[in-house]
Structure 1
Amino acid sequence: MTMSDTDRSVEKRAATTRAITAAVVSAAVAVLFSALPARSEISELRARDAAIALSRGDSVAAVDHYTAILAEENIPDDRRATLLNDRAVAYVRLGKTREAIEDYNKAVVLFPEYAAVYNNRGNLLMALGLHGEALKDFNRAIALAPGYAAAYNNRAGAQSRLGHADDAIRDYTRAIKLMPSSPAPLAGRGKAYLSQDRPHAAIRDFSRAVGADARFATGYRNRAEAKIEVAHYNEAIEDLSRAIAFDVANPEAYLLRGHSYLAIGDAPAAVTDFTRVIELAPSDTIGYEARGLANTMAEAFDAAFADLNEAIRLNPRSATAFAYRGFAYVRNGQPDIAQRDLDAAAALEKDNPEVLWALAESEEAQGRSEKAIEHLRRALAIKPDFKRAADSLQRLGFVLASASDTPVKGLGGFGWQVIANSGRFYAVSDNHPNIRVPLEPLGEGQPRILSWELKDAPFRDIGVLTYHGGVIEGREKPEEVELAAIIDLKSNSVVAIEPHRQGKEVSNWTWGENGRVTIASVDGVTDEFTLRQVRQEPTVSRYRQQDRGESSDPYWAPWNEGPWASDPSHRSRSASRARKAKKPKSFFQLLFGN
């Protein structure tokens, strides 16, 4: 069949139409693809979404985003390493330790100069209890980035867990200098000071930590522990109350506060706190033991025996529970039954301070004071800050200083003597026999008394004892340091121990008429203490003659004071009259004296 001219014309038009259509489609597709972001831009968008998910705590979404990006090819090694590091962080939060370690290891291979990945891997190794391996990672991170504050803080944590308290303190100090407003290194150094029996130094760091973060519950709890060591129980109770307000389900805080209440003789309040401990940790004996002791102190013997019986049921090998129950029998007038429990406690843990204290209470109740004193001295040798044992010794008329104090010649002065006791140094004075000043060191060397100053009113009975605190590493060379102990002779307590001098730098003390002292310390921190409550003289209102044109309202007018003062209408009328009376003079009036 032959195609006609008409058919050829139709076919030609159709072909032309198809060509035009194809061209238009191709152009549209080109325009569409040109409007889409490039592959690198898509990756950046995904990375941003991943970072947002990670910051919001959506670790699952973060892992998905990072995995999608890492599946792409042609990503530079350093960029891939950072993505692996970030995905590892998300894995850690999800508890996927193996996957996190694999990502960190890959990142280290791809980008060995990346300090953050060593720091993060070190944190994970710390969580796994591999403190030595973690220390190696923190060392590498610091070598790569000498100003890496977080790495110093984390390395200090590793040093603490390895028992290297001095090294930990040095690292925490570097971290504090690099990030002075962060509570973490301050709290860490405070705990290191506590481990070295330096509670006053610890209190100072914990105070700065909670000053940096007023909601830092751990900081309040740690400061309370330090205050308990220096027998500042009421202050400890305040700190623990703050900690509980921010962390209401922490049994440790209730336990510490309960024991602080016991120390000041408030057994009912202690029972309330120990009850909360039991509610939060019902399978732990510690709450029942503590409440049993508190109920005994409150002479609620039935409740005490019920608690201590439950503690022994939960843990038949609890020496403390047997000791407390024995003490309860002693207080309840049942010495024979008490002795069986006390013998069982001593058989389980003969060197437990609580057991020794309970044995002493039994001996005292039976009139054997010398035997009681022997048990109490042993208890204090094991636990020097054991208040109940110290109180019992004082009640028995025993002077602890004569027992195990060793005078150190050549270190005293100004009416004070330096003595050593259980590896610690104290300042004692015959002029002030009821106080022992702990001479906490700051560096290497023995403490030496340098000065003693008693203040005048309004700081009567406040004294400042300065002493040599050792030698520490300075900026250029080792430097000697001095510390100053603020002592309240009225309450026989040490208020604080402050760094006073380091090398050539000296702190600045301002003693105010308001009973407060402000100390700008050598380490750049300012502390303030209210040492005396100064009574303020009441302000006496006096009648004065009114100026011409001034409001005729007397100063005692009811609409100016009392319940009427809150009435806006009275305030507005009075203010209007005052404004009329105080109309400012014009320039010409001022110039010509009119």
Structure 2
Amino acid sequence: MTHIRIAYKSIIIGLLFFILIRPYAVYGAETREIGKEIPRKTAQEYYRRGLEYDKQNEFKLAIEQYDRAIAVYPEVAAYYLKRGEAFFKNKQIEQSIEDFTKAIEIQPENYEAYFDRARSYVAGNQKDKAIADIKQTVKICTDTIRINPKNTEKYINRGQVYMLLDDYDNAVYDFSRVIEINPRSDDAYVRRGIAYGMEYEFDLAIADFSKAIALNSSNDAAFLLRGEIYFFSERLEQAIQDYSNVIRLKPADPVAYAKRGFVYMMSEEAKKAHEDFQKAKSIDPQVAESIGWRMAVSGISYSHIAANVPEKDDFDKFLLRDIKEYFNANQNAEIKYEFLRKGPDQIGVSPPDYYLWVEINDNGNRQAGAMRVTAISKKTFGISTYLTKEAIEKNFSDVYKIFPLTVCVKIANKI
């Protein structure tokens, strides 16, 4: 069943993955030292055509162009990386793994190739290999930072990997280091604002987006993201203002029109909503429909979160109470927990789930393990799954059946 994260997460990840999370891709960069000029230009032209087909979701045609580029210059990792992505999108998983592996052979320090291969391993149900590649991705980024601790791009690279792993605390750390090194980096403030938003620290996120705008009044991403938070915080007038600023900066952006139209609809301004939806459709019908659907579904998801998650002051109290009851522990038992993923997962219309690592000491009887709990009616947490550390060590494959892969990575680190 498809996971639908709480509103802010489900929209932001889909909307800005390729805009903000992966802008430092190395596609095409390796051609700078690979032989004669004419063949190089020929390969690059095939590669460029492949990128254009990719943008149009014509993956088979893109693959044909990448094939030609590779035939001319088979030593270029970027060509294999992009063809592997096209294979993946075309559901040719084994071929994508082969291409990512070839990219790694050519360029062993290419962290993107490891991460992309991990994604293919997940799709191919080879999750042990996926976790190994994810760990290698982080290691490569960390090693490059050790070599050059003042290089802001390296922190950005590692931060984006942490974002993709739902490890927002570490992502915040890396983007904060960029800000320390370069306090005028509006991009770093935007990235850290996203990470704060993923952790539900909306006030901190708004502050970062606002700082980015103060540094660069043309940063349309900062306006767009701040508008998202204003919308989900029911500050509709401010959301409209931010979406309007995006439209001012990017008059042909269907996303901003669709989002502003949705907010106008929520504000019962039907005429303005209709005008914005029509404008979005005239620019890109698919994007307009996708944005409207996401915002509607996310609104439903958010309503389930709000209806079931306890208030902030009660959350810890209720959770510890129900964990203690699950273990039938004494009142003086010591229980510690940490989130394996901050914030709830919303699955369909079910109550929201949380993933925890729990440690308990009940009169010297110690145990630890991974737990999935469900928030119910703002007053109760139901424990649906608990795997002890010993059980996990004995058969890790059971973990994959219960927890998302990014959570599995954290569980693997625990043991």
TM-score by length of 1: 0.37
Question: Which is greater in Rg?
Answer: 1
Choose between structure 1 and 2: higher helix proportion: 2
1 or 2 for the larger relative contact order (CA 8 Å, sep ≥6)? 2
